[in-house]
Structures are given as structure tokens and as C-alpha cells.
Amino acid sequence: MSSASSTEEYVRIPIHEAAQIRICSSCRRTIVPGEKAVAFVCPNCGTVVVWRCYKCRKMVVSYRCPNCGFEGP
């Protein structure tokens, strides 16, 4: 017991910075930070950033813009 090291290693995660929730526009799944995903501005209205998870991008699932309703591959 006395040989236990006092090394305390823990990952500090800034929870307050996780306020920006990214949701895949195709499957409505939450994209966790660090996950492979792509983000692009809607080609139709150009005001909304559409997120797409890696899985949907790979499967070429169509997305839908929450602002203008534009659907595209």
C-alpha cells in the first residue's frame, strides 16, 4: 500500500465547450466530438451548416437542410 504512486492522471474535459451539439442531418444522430464527420454550408440557402456523420457520407445518404428544406446527396 505504501508503494502506491501519487500520480493522478485524468483528462480534463471542458464541458462548457461541448454546448455546440452537432447532429447528423441525414440520420439525426448526435455526432460526438472526435468522430469523423463532415460539415458544409447548404448549397441552396447558404446560411445553415449541415453536418453529416461519416457513416451517412460513406453510404451517400441524402440530407435535408433544416432551414430551406433542400435535399441533396
Smaller CB separation from Zn ion, 18 or 43: 43
Q: How far is the CB of 38 from Zn ion (least distance, A)?
A: 10
C-alpha 46/C-alpha 40 separation (Å) is 9
Q: How far is the CB of 28 from Zn ion (least distance, A)?
A: 8
Q: How far is the CB of 10 from Zn ion (least distance, A)?
A: 31
Q: Which residues bind Zn ion (CB under 5 A)?
A: 24, 26-27, 42, 44-45, 53, 56, 65, 67-68, 70
C-alpha 29/C-alpha 55 separation (Å) is 11
> What are the Cα distances from residue 61, in Å, to 13, 48, 64, 72?
32, 18, 10, 9
